[in-house]
Amino acid sequence: MKRIFSYTITAQDSDQRIYDFLCHHGYSRHIRTWLKQHPGSVRLNDKEALFYFPLKTGDLLEITLEEEQPSENIIPVCLPLHIIYEDEDLMVIDKPANMPVHPSIGNYENTLANAVAWYFQQQNIPFVFRCINRLDRDTTGLLILAKNMLSGAILSDQMKKREIHRIYLAITEGKTDPAGTINRPIGRADQSLILRQVDPDKGDPACTHYLQKCWHPKTFYPATLSVPQDGLSLVQLQLETGRTHQIRVHMTSIGHPLIGDTLYNPETALLARQALHSYRLAFTHLSPEFPWSLLHPSLQIWQNCSRNIMRKYFYDVVVQKIQKRSEKCFFTFFRSFYFSHDISVYPTEFPCFPTLRESAVPLPHADIC
């Protein structure tokens, strides 16, 4: 995949070397090494340039990144792929349940990576799979994929610095508090490769904020459903850290495990998978068409949820009466996706997020296969 980045040098960036400019604009050591090894990939005013060349106001700097070989050991497979948004630098995909993100032992052809490889193979475009935020096999919702070396480096750095804001929806057992913060270290459970647990002594720091959206008592549902005695809560969660199974472990630790989570809630009977959905992302786009030094555009991507969450999870088992009742009070609808060009604009409803500005532009999306 070939990508050309063009920069018109401003007064603020003049009188510095190309090397310093690239460092400031997110080009990692790996990318800088690649540029040195590929003559002609750095051009200044339409002439080949070296890293030590100085920049002046009005200069045109062009950086060409090109990858000729796709990711190894990822077999292209035609699988359903719901693309929420795509441009030259990134993709946002709505991952379904029962689909791992990466191939693993015994599962080489039923992953998101296989589906993406097929998508680009049909366009004769070599593609290196770079997933920025990962989801468990049965967790649904939004994932970011970087399409080139630079977007991968910048978005990975944002992830490391906790600048990619992720909000989830979950259905939990019982009536949660209206809001709260769970700040408990998480570590691997003894003698288990998969199971995690709260571990104050050896665990890594982990912090989850939650907000109860609504609660329904047991009497709200048909007697035929195995609903917990204390009913069910729809909870919105924001992660400050990204530990394995963080939401599932934290909610279990406060007595409100996710329904369907057989790993941490073995007695659950309502679903065959955990009721967890990644529905909102906020991060800074890297496109050089936006002025980096003055205004970092913040890309808001809100999952387009046209059905309430109870219908989404209980569609095959909940009667029509319950579907209609829950539609009014069990979910908030988001009918489009949003761009915002103000770095201060992030999702609302958590103290660390200022108010969302009312400027919206629908984004393209496509269903593949």
Q: Residue 195 corresponds to which tokens in the numbers above?
A: 């199971």
Q: Which pairing describes strands 140-146 and 130-131: parallel, antiparallel, or unpaired?
A: antiparallel
**136 annotated active-site:** yes
Please check whether residue 50 is in contact with residue 18, taking contact to mean a CB–CB distance below 8 angstroms. yes
The C-alpha atoms of residue 27 and residue 23 are separated, in whole angstroms, by 5
- Which DSSP string do the residues of 90-137 spell out, in sequence order? EEEEEEPSS--SS-BTTBSSSSHHHHHHHHHHTTT-----EESS---T
212 φ/ψ angles, rounded to the nearest 5 degrees: -75, 125
Round to whole Å and give the CA distance between 196 and 227.
Answer: 26
Please tell me what DSSP assigns to residue 73.
T
Instruction: Give the CA distances from residue 51 to residues 34, 36, 63, 312, 321, in Å, rounded to whole numbers and listed in that order.
Output: 12, 8, 11, 53, 68
Q: Which of 94, 136, 138, 261 is catalytic?
A: 136
Rg of the chain on CA atoms, in Å: 23
What's the CA gap between 92 and 137, in Å, rounded? 17
What distance in Å separates the CA atoms of residue 300 and residue 338, rounded to the nearest whole number? 5
Residue 192 is encoded by which pair of tokens? 């288990």
> Which of 171-201 are b and which e, b meaning 16 or more Cβ less than 10 Å from the residue's Cβ?
bbbbbbeeeeebebbbbbeeeeeeebbbbee
- In 3D space, the residue among 330, 286, 281 whose CA is nearest the CA of residue 94 turns out to be 281
Give me the active site residues, please. Answer: 136
